Amino acid sequence: MKVLFLLIFTLFFGQILFAQAAETGGLAEEFTRLEDYLRNQKLTPEEKKKIFETNVINSLRVTLARKVREPKKELKDLKFQDVKTERPEGTNNLYVKYKNFVISYSYSADPESYYISPFEEKVLEKPNGADLNAAHSDEKVVTPPK
């Protein structure tokens, strides 16, 4: 008797849950439709610029927070206008220069189309007085004895 009651109870509530999932199409289907919509949306140049600038500033804040002494104070006034960027065509890589830092970022998707964080970064800090145009050579200059 208990088994029969349990079986009827399970079937009844199972049908209710299945009906709700079928009615809404299921979360998996909704997720797929939303992902397709977001992937194929047409962004205006202004929207792309805003997304790109936001990604650059957010990436810089996270990266430089680990590199500067007082991040809250030094990064408080960080603006996109103070940053120099270069993105090789056809890639999701980005080179950023801010003050004496030059940073390479790699994104898993287009940083102009999606709000995204880089999956890889490489930070270089230019030492004060460094001459990047000077030729590097392993040869030692030998001066003849007098």
The pLDDT tens digits of the residues spanning 67-80 come to 888 888 888 888 99
Residues 32 and 86 in one domain: no
Residues 20 and 75 in one domain: no
Chain mean pLDDT for the chain: 83
Least confident of 106-110, 130-134, 137-141: 137-141
Q: Is residue 111 part of a domain?
A: yes
Residues 72 and 105 in one domain: yes
Q: Is residue 134 part of a domain?
A: no
Q: According to the model, what pLDDT value does residue 68 have? A: 81
Average pLDDT over residues 86-110: 95
Domain count, the chain: 2
Residues 80 and 109 in one domain: yes
Report CA Rg, the chain. Answer: 28
pLDDT of 129 higher than 60 = yes
Q: Is residue 141 part of a domain?
A: no
Question: Residue 51's domain spans which residues?
Answer: 45-125
